Amino acid sequence: SDDLIKSPNSLFGMGNPLLDISAEVDKDFLDKFGLKPNNAILADESHKALFEELIGKFPAEYHAGGATQNSIRVAQWMIQKPEKVGTFFGCIGKDKFGDILKKKALEGKVDAHYYEQEEEPTGTCAVCITGDKRSLVANLAAANAYKKDKHLDLEENWALVEKAKVYYIAGFFLTVSLESILKVAKHAAENNKVFCLNLAAPFISQFFKDGLMQVMPYVDVLFGNETEAAEFGKAQEFETEDVEELAKKAQALPKENTKRPRVVVFTQGKENTIVAQNTFPVLKIDPKDIVDTNGAGDAFVGGFLSQLVQEKPLERSVEAGHYSANVVIRRSGCTFPEKPEFH
């Protein structure tokens, strides 16, 4: 029955839990800190002032963020009942921002099990919005302190991993704990479960290519947007910029569990979503109804996963992804109304 399919903890996510600090900025602000309009980068020393200025100069809003955590929250919102279908692991600090993330996970009915440590504060992400574009600067802090042996390997935590049928990890986590990702990915392949990965940002394909390619053989569903797909293609020397071709080539990469053909899903903003061998038009939206596109890709993945975990056909997963992304871009941050109206 459907209820059995949607059992608690059947969707597992692991990643960087961040608090988004979001504000509308101007081009001068982007230029001052060397930011590109639709990029995502990791903060370094040069960005210290950016966070202070974002909060000081602009009316900033605080939202629960972190790519993987966003997607799990959206999937749970789409599913509604039962609660805690989505499990989330990640590392936070023992502080005010950590408390906010715990509260938001609870409100979102997600079964979050954070590794809490005191050395590093909870991670934040500056979301610099210009029109319908967002530039992300992540200060990982505590998120970067996730430890396989301190959390994932613990018996009660690994039991939750084993309960799941679908796994989702955004590529951002490759910079934190490759060994944690590989342990989960191998478990999925060995048990013929579904392991999903997101290309996450251009810098992952460029600078974390080795780790990415160690995980790739275990990937059953690969997500990305057009920019990330192009960067991945460059790093892999696919010698094409055509998104459909890129999807086919990514699909053809070596695969561990041959029982499941790889599905590759590349979104392109308002253009068609490419699913290796297929294209699906997105829902039309008037540009003036777009509040900000922060979390749009995460919401797409969340909607997609909500159907995947219920074993619905691929087409239905894409429709659900388009629906939830369309909801989220009408609001500030990766937020949503009380209930979905997805039929």
Which residues does the annotation mark as catalytic?
298
What does 261-318 look like in DSSP terms, one character per residue? --EEEEEETTEEEEETTEEEPPPP--GGG----TTHHHHHHHHHHHHHTTT--HHHHH
Whether the CA torsion 94, 97, 101, 106 is positive or negative: it is: positive
The per-residue DSSP string of 139-195 comes to E-GGGGG--IIIIITSHHHHHHHHH-SEEEEEGGGGGT-HHHHHHHHHHHHHTT-EE
Longest pairwise C-alpha distance within the chain: 56
How far does Cα 54 stand from its chain's mean position? 23
Task: Measure the CA–CA gap between 240 and 67, rounded to whole angstroms.
Answer: 28
CA distances from 257 to 166, 186, 187, 218, 261 (A): 14, 9, 11, 7, 8
Distance, in Å, from the CA atom of 289 to the CA atom of 236, rounded to the nearest integer, reads 37
**Beta-sheet pairing, 18-24 with 123-130:** parallel
What is the three-class DSSP state of 340? coil
Q: Burial, 313: exposed, middle or buried (Cβ in 10 Å; 0-12, 13-18, 19+)?
A: exposed
Q: Which residues contact 322 (CB under 8 A, 6 or more apart)?
A: 273, 280, 282, 283, 300, 303
| Cα 116 from Cα 153, distance rounded (Å) | 15
Q: Which has the closest alpha carbon to 17: 155, 197, 139?
A: 139
